[in-house]
Structure 1
């Protein structure tokens, strides 16, 4: 008799759980076309989120490049020489007085007699086309050949 009651209770529990499962699976979220619209909206939202993330990364990279270029420009315009060289005595051109030249100024044509041609010997990179290194006291300036516009100053390169 106990076996019969236990079996009946187990069957009732099993039937009840099957009934709940079938009722849950039969429950609908709305019309079929509404379900698809909801899924499409979710996919669209996900795509928009990924697109925004890519834009953020792109903007961050752009800012990093901009900061790097600004740092490079600041370094290239005025540098302090890491090492000093002996290159003999320097005399300023006739009719001029000694002046410290900076970025953006024009170097007089009388300084063309002091062009540094052996830039490798002094640890300098090759000048760009149309530019040359000119000695001004203990400093070296990178100036345009045609107009004398100074684009960089390397301070204290010579003793």
Structure 2
């Protein structure tokens, strides 16, 4: 009887330790899943922050802006063969406008930010247009900057 009782206690202890090991394993797996989920949430938050920063950068050069203040500048005459017109984002400005007579180099004087590398401000009538130097692609229009 003593041997049977000892065997039963040993079996109970063995099963209990196996149960504890599997419980610890399950808890470990649960912890891993929690950490993976948390990592995904952190990644999502980082991507959301990146998108927010990109939108703020995009707003820095809004596609169309109405000037808050008007400045006096010399008389404007369009390039030969062209008339004053309203430009829009995404259009291409002809090479005739990209000549030195129409480029606004003293942008600080008119309350404009420094153009990004590879871009320049071009005057067209009373408006100022931010264009790519190489292609003439219009990135932003500031309407009514000049009298």
TM-score (norm 2): 0.77
Corresponding position of 1:130: 118
Structure 1 stretches of 4+ with a deviation exceeding 6 A read none
Corresponding position of 1:3: none
The DSSP-based 3-state class of the residue aligned with 1:152 is strand
Count of residues paired in the alignment: 133
Higher deviation after alignment, 66-75 or 112-121: 66-75
Q: Find the aligned partners of 1:121 and 1:68 in 2 and give their Cα distance.
A: 28
Corresponding position of 1:107: 93
Corresponding position of 1:34: 19
Q: Find the aligned partners of 2:131 and 2:92 in 1 and give their Cα distance.
A: 8
Runs (5+) with no aligned partner, structure 1: 1-26
Deviation at 1:75, TM superposition (A): 5.2
Superposition CA RMSD, Å: 2.3
Question: Going by fraction, where is helix more abundant, 1 or 2?
Answer: 1
TM-score (norm 1): 0.71
Q: Find the aligned partners of 1:97 and 1:78 in 2 and give their Cα distance.
A: 20
* Higher Rg of the two aligned structures: 1
